[in-house]
Amino acid sequence: MRGPAVPWRSEASGLVLSVRLTPRSDREAIDGIAQLADGKAVLQARVRAPPSDGQANAALVRLIAATLGVPQRDVSLVAGESARLKRVKVSGSAAGLAAALAKICTSPANRAARTGPA
C-alpha cells in the first residue's frame, strides 16, 4: 500500500517541488500539502509579495530556501513563472530535503494553520 502523495520527486541533484503559490497573502508560510481537483499533490505556499515583475517568485525562492535551510542559490524556479502552480528545484541531498519537507508539512503548527483554530 502506498503512503499519501507528496508534492516532490527526487532527482540525482536534489528535489523538484510542485507548489501552489498564493501571492499578496497576509503572511509568508508553507501551509503544508494540498490535493488539487485532479488529485495532484502540491505544496501550499503563501508570500506577501505581489505577482508582478517576478516579486512573488523571488519571495517563494527566499521562503523555500529559509524553510529548508539552504542557500537561495540552491533554489530555482523550473516552471510556472506566471502561473499559480509552479515547479521549484532545490539542489542538495534529496533524502535530507525530503525528510525536512515531510517534517514541516506534518508539524502541529502547520496542521493548526490549515484547519483553523480549535
pLDDT of residue 114: 39
Which pTM does this prediction carry?
Answer: 0.84
Give Cα separations from 107 to 11, 24, 30, 67, 112 (angstroms). 25, 24, 11, 13, 9
115 occurs within a structural domain: no
38 occurs within a structural domain: yes
112 occurs within a structural domain: no
Expressed as residue numbers, the domain containing 28 is 8-100
pLDDT of residue 4: 65
Tell me how many domains the chain contains.
Answer: 1
Residue 93's CATH number: 3.30.1200.10
Give Cα separations from 8 to 19, 40, 62, 99 (angstroms). 9, 11, 18, 11
C-alpha cell at 17: 517541488
List average pLDDT for each run of 10 residues in the chain, which is 118 residues long: 74 93 93 89 94 93 94 94 94 89 72 38
